[in-house]
Amino acid sequence: MIGVYFSPLSQRLLALGLALLTLLLCFNLIVAPLLGVISADRADLTTLRERQARLEAARAWPDASPVPNRAVTLLASGHASAIKDRLKVSVEGYARAQGVTIATLNVDLAARSGSQSVNVNFEVSGAHDAVITFLAAIERGRPLMRPIMLTMKPIAGRDDELAVTGQYQALAVVQ
């Protein structure tokens, strides 16, 4: 058998190389998977923080008050014109605040099983974000309103602008 002998410097370099190889193997088997788990947890934490920020923003919204147990507002029939005027002024105010153009706006009382409901019909146009914010303001206003029909179309030749035809029913009953 032929013996192979290394000088002391070569032995030290070989031992150092083996130690580095062992450390690299440990890193790949232990530390790298842990880093993957930590980064996934960090992404989940970021998502949860964003969700919490949105919830806090929604709670801080000035018109965000809880829906009462009875969401339907009862209104006296003698005040029908005042109710119509109030809703019309509110919708016009929401449009003005967002820079949305109102083409038509009608507030009508519709007969419904012995009482009347209040319907708001409109056609508006404007920048996409402004129109969406306008619609959100209508739904947050008082009395509460729900969409019955809503049609959104992009305006030809104008980037990022919408034309919306909508019909909302106020959650109010005139008796």
Contact status, residue 166 vs residue 151, Cβ threshold 8 Å: yes
User: What is the pLDDT at residue 123?
Assistant: 94
The pLDDT tens digits of the residues spanning 103-162 come to 999 988 776 655 667 788 999 999 988 999 999 888 887 777 888 889 989 888 877 888
Count of other CB atoms within 10 angstroms of residue 161: 17
Residues above pLDDT 90, as percent of the chain: 19
- Reading the block at residue 171, the tokens are 């959650």
Count of other CB atoms within 10 angstroms of residue 126: 23
Q: What residues pair up with 154 in beta bridges, in sequence order?
A: 162
Contact status, residue 109 vs residue 75, Cβ threshold 8 Å: no
The pLDDT tens digits of the residues spanning 5-22 come to 788 888 899 899 999 999
Distance between start and end Cα atoms, the chain? 112
User: What is the pLDDT at residue 57?
Assistant: 67
User: What is the pLDDT at residue 165?
Assistant: 92
